[in-house]
Structure 1
Amino acid sequence: MQNSKVAPVLKRTLGSFHLWGIAVGLVISGEYFGWSYGWAQAGTLGFLVTAVAVAAMYCAFIFSFTELTTSIPHAGGPFAYAHRAFGPTGGFIAGFATLVEFVFAPPAIAMAIGAYLNVQFPAVEPRWVALAAYLVFMTLNILGVGIAAAFELLVTLLAIFELLVFMGVVAPGFELANFTRGGWAGAEHFSIGAISGIFAAIPFAIWFFLAIEGASMAAEEAKDPQRTIPRAFIGGILTLTVLALGVMVFAGGVGDWTKLANINDPLPQAMKIIVGGNSGWLHMLVWLGLFGLIASFHGIIMGYSRQIFALARAGYLPKPLSRVNRRFRTPHLAIIAGGVVGVAAIFSDSLIIIGGQPLTANIVTMSVFGAIVMYIISMASLFKLRRLEPKLTRPFRAPLYPFAPALALVMAVICLVAMIYYNQLLFMIFAVMMLLGYAYYRLTRYARDAAAHDPQLTLSE
């Protein structure tokens, strides 16, 4: 009888175009929903200020993060970089924060998929649609990274096409006066209250770009990662910045933007103002718009599974989660484990009452907490490794060093402080999860010691 165990090694199949598709696809659902909650906090003009500032942060971050990704191409991504720079505790902080980001983003997207279908079929319950989406796309990810990446590229291209169609269809009805009316936190003119709204809207501006760094988790499955990953990241952040600003401005100028500020399907509702509820354009947006949500949902499942896989392989999570399916060479148990947490979040009605915000807004904010903590420790890792390992091979070096990574680091810290101030209860939940994870980390040192002595799992490789 053959040994049923498979060594936890992933297969290299991805080129630059596939990685670009993953980088953009991970994020592109942020252009379809989630961001409009920022209007409720800051108004259209206030949120525009927030979004531009966050876009600048992400550009600085991605150009700096690419240096880490190409120097240390590892499925753990930020976990591997922080582990190398700050040791096991640094690895834990980065790894667990990334895990929160990637495990909590999919349920928010799944709920949006349900909301989009509810436009076409009002009798359909969004939560059951969300559950079905998990089952379908977990299965697709288990079937193989080549199939998953090809599918991701296809739906990403369709999603970009649909966003361009949306902007083209609503453009004739765009009026700048609509966009600027009540644009400063509900007021006509800039005020002190507008500043508060600008900071409160930070999580929803981050949602425009959240998870683009997840392409780094495909580094062990990339062909020539030192060349392909920089191309994917740079092309991805430029693509997303143009789409995010375009969609936000056009949607806000079609009518009363306040009616779009607290819903999961702002684009169909914005288009309905222009073309009516029975237009073929609207139906096309709903159906093709699902591709944008699916692209991110599918891609982030790929991302969280690789993070769980890498943490389990290094002994930070239960060892079985690092098992690779014998036939498809994918981390099937890691895919399933993240899905269980996501489905539980979808059906956690108690989250709705936190801060008086809708369930989706709270899930988005929780995901962003994980992302911001990871961004901070990643930029700190870049500075530390530049000092500790000046001879480390760096196929791509961060431009404008040290200014670009410093900008990303400082802005990420500001974002974290603002988010804590405006979301104190959610931050407490996030902190409790981190503490529970740290307790597990302390109690399972023997597993990490065993992983550290396995040459196949060495983080420096």
Structure 2
Amino acid sequence: MSGSSKPELSKSLSGLQLWGIAVGLVISGEYFGWSYGWAAAGTLGFLVTTILIALMYTTFIFSFTELTTAIPHAGGPFAYSFRAFGPNGGFLAGFATLIEFVFAPPAIALAIGAYLNVQFPALDPKLVAVGAYVVFMGLNIAGVSIAASFELFVTVLAIFELLVFMGVVAPGFSWANFTAKGWAGSDTLTLEGFGGIFAAIPFAIWFFLAIEGAAMAAEETKDPRRTVPRAYIGGILTLVALAFGTMIFAGGVGDWTQLSNINDPLPQAMKAVVGESSGWLHMLVWIGLFGLIASFHGIIMGYSRQIFALARAGYLPPVFATLHPTRRTPHWATLAGGVVGIAAIYSDELVTIGGQPLTANIVTMSVFGAIVMYIMSMASLFRLRTVEPGLERPFRAPFYPVFPAISLVLAVLALGTMIYFNPLVFGLFVGLLAAAWVIYRLTAGLRTTGTLDPLLNLSAADLAQVEARTLTD
């Protein structure tokens, strides 16, 4: 098979649209999920956790952008790790990313269903969740420009609503409320509070999880060397500001412990200031749905590109690398991820993990995939700087090697903490990777087509050099 016969995605995205994807992938995390970190660490303890995780993500994005602009590829971390560590490295990063992006959407879809069920009790939340999959898979298949324009629209609405929330509750904010018993229920930092800072790491990650998915749209972006750095840096700065603003304002309007174990902390915080009948509150509840929709829609775009890239390189059946004949979108890859997500939705009450429903753990599973991918990406950055110093890098990580080292160390710390607090889910994560590895080894014939994915810039001879270099090391 010649390089020219490989399916290639169309380049139609602007830098603004890519910024919308980067922020939209994450923004549901500003609306729910993070407040469980207060239950583990308290407001002050979780503030420390969030500072650490924000540092990890900020240094990660400034470093990750070097890889994205040097190797603009739909597989994102898969391509970088393949280039750095060969096929086995590509496998680990690619399938870890796939787990992250396939396991996050079912939880968000069920949140959409649960939200609408509160407003319309006659609606079945699971049917709504499945309907969300059908609608947004269809929108993604319709065309990347259409999908990205919609993503930008709902993302801007979701950001606007968060700013409205901060402005409305500001008159009721008190720093004394925020700091009261802020160290895991104590006014002073104790050993329990110190442990809570680490236990709360997954909930701080939820503020930023999946921003790296914009890398999978880099191949479809106009002039990625210029637009990707702007979109990524603008995206992470936007999310850091929103994360701290949302958390601090919500925690200072009353008794923060009443918000620490619920899925709707923002409406409840606003209710404490403006009352239940306020039009501001109803606007927050309704427009808040756009935050969920933005992330759900964006992550579908992310998983479809990851499946497409893995199939195009021979790591998954080639049918998933097929593009729609007129829309030039990976329609079979989009549908494949949807089948897994819908199966997870209907397995919620049939399958339990550690005594909890399946979907209560799939976000943790998604985080495990993300952390492994972060580690592999930073390792790839260091590796490529050493073995390919001549690789064209339109954007170079600032303060190298400090920034990528900070990100790598914090990611390893996060992984160790996650394993300690979630050993069963980690075991299942390893089991999924092991099963994928068996399939990967049994389908070796898919990767002997003479030329690998040309966007990796590796011919058969180049591939042999990468493999030899990996074995030598």
TM-score range, shorter chain: over 0.9
Paired residue for 1:283? 282
Q: Who is 1:135 aligned against?
A: 134
CA RMSD of aligned residues (A): 1.8
Residue equivalent to 1:253: 252
Match of 1:400 in 2: 399
1:234 lines up with 2:233 in the alignment: yes
Alignment of 1:85-100 (within 5 A): 85-100=84-99
In structure 2, what residue type is equivalent to 1:195?
A: F
Deviations along 1:246-285, whole A, 9 cap, x unmatched? 0011111222222222222221222222222222111111
Q: Paired residue for 2:18?
A: 19
Superposed CA offset, 1:147-201 (max 9, x none): 0011111111111100000111111122222222232222232100011111111
Does structure 2 retain, via aligned residues, the 8 Å contact 1:37–1:262?
A: yes
Question: 1:120 deviation in Å?
Answer: 2.5
Q: Deviations over 1:118-169 (max 9, x none)?
A: 4433444433322211111011001000100111111111111000001111
Q: Any idea what SS the aligned residue of 1:349 has? A: coil
| TM-score of the superposed pair, with normalisation by structure 2 | 0.92
Deviations 1:390-436 (A, max 9, x none): 00000000000001001100100000000000000110111100100
Is residue 2:451 matched to residue 1:453?
A: yes
Structure 2 counterpart of 1:35: 34
Query: Is the Cα contact below 8 Å between 2:83 and 2:456 reproduced in 1?
Result: no
What stretches of structure 2 of length at least 5 have no aligned partner?
Answer: 460-473
Letter in 1 for 2:51: V
Deviation of 1:115 (Å): 3.2
Paired residue for 2:340? 341
**Distance apart, 1:225 and its partner CA:** 0.5
Distance (whole Å) between structure 1 residues aligned to residue 421 and residue 452 of structure 2: 44
For 2:193 and 2:274, locate their aligned partners in 1 and report how far apart those are by CA, in whole Å. Answer: 32
**Cα separation, 2, equivalents of 1:194 and 1:219:** 41
- State whether residues 136 and 297 of structure 2, in contact with CA within 8 Å, keep that contact through their aligned partners in structure 1: yes
Q: Residue type matched to 2:310 in 1?
A: L
Alpha-carbon distance, 1:45 to partner: 1.2
Counterpart in the other structure of 2:188: 189
Moved more, 186-195 or 48-57: 186-195
Cα distance in 2, alignment partners of residues 218 and 195 from structure 1: 39
Q: How does 1:377-456 map to 2 (within 5 A)?
A: 377-450=376-449, 453=451, 456=454
Aligned pairs for 1:282-361 within 5 A: 282-349=281-348, 354-355=353-354, 361=360
The 1-side partners of 2:189 and 2:285 are apart by 35
Whether the 8 Å CA contact 2:73–2:455 is kept in 1: the answer is: no
Paired residue for 1:207?
Answer: 206
Deviation at 1:344, TM superposition (A): 2.0
1:260-279 mapped onto 2 (5 Å cutoff)? 260-279=259-278
Displacement, 1:354?
3.6
**Range 237-246 or range 163-172, more displaced:** 163-172
From the superposition, tell whether residues 183 and 122 of structure 1 become closer, same or farther in structure 2 (CA, over 3 Å). farther
Could you tell me whether the CA contact under 8 Å between 1:379 and 1:405 is conserved in 2? yes
CA–CA distance in structure 2, aligned partners of residues 135 and 10 of structure 1: 22
* Distance change in 2, residues 1:178/1:351 (3 Å): farther
Q: CA–CA distance in 2 between the matches of 1:41 and 1:422?
A: 12
Q: Against the structure 1 CA distance between its residues 65 and 460, is the aligned structure 2 distance closer, same or farther, given a 3 Å change threshold?
A: farther
CA shift at 1:306, angstroms?
A: 0.2
Q: SS where residue 96 of structure 2 aligns?
A: helix
* 2-structure distance, mates of 1:125, 1:214: 30
SS at match of 1:90: helix
The more displaced of 124-133 and 11-20 is 124-133
Match of 2:468 in 1: none
Shift of 1:379: 0.3
Do 2:6 and 2:312's aligned partners in 1 also have CA atoms closer than 8 Å?
A: no
Residues 79 and 456 of structure 2 are in contact (CA less than 8 Å); yes or no, is this contact kept in structure 1?
A: no
The residue that corresponds to 1:368 in the other structure is 367
In structure 1, the residue matched to 2:52 is 53
TM-score, normalization by structure 1: 0.95
Question: Which position in structure 1 is the counterpart of 2:465?
Answer: none
**Shift of residue 361 of structure 1?**
4.7
Give secondary structure in 2 for the equivalent of 1:87. Answer: helix
Partners of 1:95 and 1:311 within 8 A in 2: yes
- 8 A Cα contact 2:73 2:456, kept in partner: no
Task: Report the 3-state secondary structure (helix = DSSP H, G, I; strand = E; otherwise coil) of the residue aligned with 2:448.
Answer: helix
Residue 105 of structure 1, CA deviation: 1.3
User: Secondary structure of 2:26's match?
Assistant: helix
Alignment-mate amino acid for residue 337 of structure 1: A
Residue type matched to 2:228 in 1?
I
Instruction: Call closer, same or farther: CA 1:244–1:167 in 2, change over 3 Å.
Output: same
Match of 1:177 in 2: 176
- CA–CA separation in structure 2 for the residues paired with 1:257 and 1:455: 51
Q: Aligned pair in 2 of structure 1 residues 89, 454: CA closer, same or farther (>3 Å)?
A: closer
Contact 1:15 1:228 in 2 (8 A): yes
Name the CA distance, whole Å, in 2 between partners of 1:180 and 1:356.
Answer: 34
2:68–2:218 contact (8 Å) kept in structure 1: yes
1:54 and 1:458 map into 2 onto residues whose CA distance is: 31
**2:218 aligns to what?**
219
Residue 37 to residue 397, structure 1, CA distance change in 2 (3 Å):
same
Contact 1:159–1:292, Cα closer than 8 Å, also in 2: yes
User: Aligned partner of 1:232: which letter?
Assistant: A
**1:7-26 C-alpha deviation (Å, 9 max, x unpaired):** 62110001111111111111
Residue identity opposite 2:429 in structure 1: F
Which residue of the partner structure matches residue 3 of structure 1? Answer: none
Name structure 1 gaps, 5 residues minimum: 1-5
The aligned amino acid for 1:164 is L
8 Å Cα contact 2:321-2:333 kept in structure 1:
yes
On the 8 A contact 2:6/2:453 being kept in 1, the answer is no
- Change in CA separation of 1:118 and 1:252 when aligned onto 2, cut-off 3 Å: farther
Q: Do the aligned partners of 2:349 and 2:357 also contact (CA within 8 Å) in 1?
A: no
Give the SS at the match of 1:199: helix
Distance 1:272 1:357 in 2: 30
Work out the CA distance in 2 between the residues paired with 1:309 and 1:209: 24
Which amino acid in 2 is paired with 1:48? Answer: L
Tell me the percent identity: 71
Q: How far does the alpha carbon of each residue in 1:80-112 deviate from its partner, in whole angstroms, 9 at most, with x for none?
A: 000000000000000000001111111222222
Deviates more, 1:270-279 or 1:158-167: 270-279
